[in-house]
Amino acid sequence: MNIQAYIESGIIESYVLGLADADESAELEMLCRQHPEIQAALTNFETQIEKQAFNNAIAPPPELKDRLMDMLEQDFKEQNDSKKIPPPIVEMNNIQNAGTRQSSFWRYFAAASVILLIGSAALNLYLYNNYNDTAARYEALLAERNNLQASNGVFQTRLNGLEESFRIIQNPQVLAVKLPGVNGHTENIAAVYWDSQTKDVYLMPTKMDKAPEGKQYQLWAIVDGKPVDAGMVEDCNGLCKMKNISKAQAFAITLEDKGGSPAPHLEALYVYGNVNG
């Protein structure tokens, strides 16, 4: 058995995407147990699908919980410490005569006023600093919350795109066309999903080399033996929506200058597949 040819046949992609029939699925599962290379290829494709769904997803910072607990603990500690400061005690000696008693009273009254003034100023400074610190912490937490909400929005968009892709693939009116790599690019593989009713065309660039700077992949439909532009391959969530094609005998992908070409450069052909297999 030619294991590499079996791996490149597209059966693994069909199995993962739910397109393989019962016999094909049973055969693949049996071969996975017999040949580690096939099992490795299956695991690799499943990993690629998973990465496509979770790519660029931003997880909440792992230290966020610890930082919040430290902030709350520090606030409680500062409040408890402030309650432990004993109030100033002013002791007055016994006054021997009325004149001395009146003079001492005003001296102690003035001293107490100064102490109260200093205490009030210190309390105001503490409250002001505490307010500024709390406001800064609130702004930092608000910024982190906004970042998390934005990240969740990106993740939800990608998840919705993936769910829509599976809905399209599972539609019985959608024809799956496997595009294996040609000579020199056999490690590349893609698939076209062609709606026989609406004529919508979707592309899954399963495994394509990264396009060099200034280059871009372009999909072509072979109609009556001639190539017809089916759109440029962009970054997309799940399936890439391409141009509608009313009829075609085959599909192919070439690497062109960014923005596309009116005609394909055959020396830059990467994948090719006939509609009827």
Q: What is the pLDDT of residues 126-161, one digit of tens each?
A: 666 666 767 677 677 767 767 766 656 555 655 565
Return the ∠ at Cα 127 (arms to 134 and 114), rounded to 5°: 165
- pLDDT for 100 equals 47
Terminal-to-terminal C-alpha distance of the chain:
21
Specify whether 179 is located in the same domain as 276.
yes
Tell me the mean pLDDT in the region 199-225: 94
Spatial CB neighbours of 170, under 8 Å, sequence gap ≥ 6: 18
pTM: 0.47
Specify whether 116 is located in the same domain as 206.
no
Contact 229/270 with Cβ under 8 angstroms? no
Specify whether 177 is located in the same domain as 276.
yes
Position 17 confidence tier, pLDDT thresholds 50, 70, 90: confident
Q: Residue 101 and residue 96: Cα distance in Å, rounded? A: 7
Specify whether 137 is located in the same domain as 180.
no
Report percent pLDDT > 90 for the chain: 39
Specify whether 178 is located in the same domain as 277.
yes
> Is residue 43 a part of any domain in this protein?
yes
Q: Is the pLDDT of residue 28 over 70?
A: yes
> Is residue 220 a part of any domain in this protein?
yes
Average pLDDT of the chain to the nearest whole number: 78
Tell me the mean pLDDT in the region 108-112: 54
Say how many C-beta atoms besides its own lie within 10 A of residue 273's C-beta: 22
Q: Is the pLDDT of residue 260 over 60?
A: yes
- Higher-confidence position of 27 and 74: 27
Residue 261's domain comprises 172-277
Q: Is the pLDDT of residue 261 over 90?
A: yes
Specify whether 189 is located in the same domain as 138.
no
- Higher-confidence position of 92 and 69: 69
Position 110 confidence tier, pLDDT thresholds 50, 70, 90: low
Q: Is the pLDDT of residue 239 over 50?
A: yes
The dihedral formed by the CA atoms of 17, 22, 25 and 30, expressed in degrees to the nearest 10: 170
Specify whether 13 is located in the same domain as 90.
no
Specify whether 68 is located in the same domain as 128.
yes
Q: Residue 108 and residue 88: Cα distance in Å, rounded? A: 12
Number of domains in the chain: 3
Plot region of 274 (φ>0 → left; ψ -120 to 50 → alpha; else → beta): beta
Specify whether 70 is located in the same domain as 33.
no
Position 95 confidence tier, pLDDT thresholds 50, 70, 90: very low
> Is residue 59 a part of any domain in this protein?
no
- pLDDT for 214 equals 94
Report percent pLDDT > 70 for the chain: 62
Position 87 confidence tier, pLDDT thresholds 50, 70, 90: low
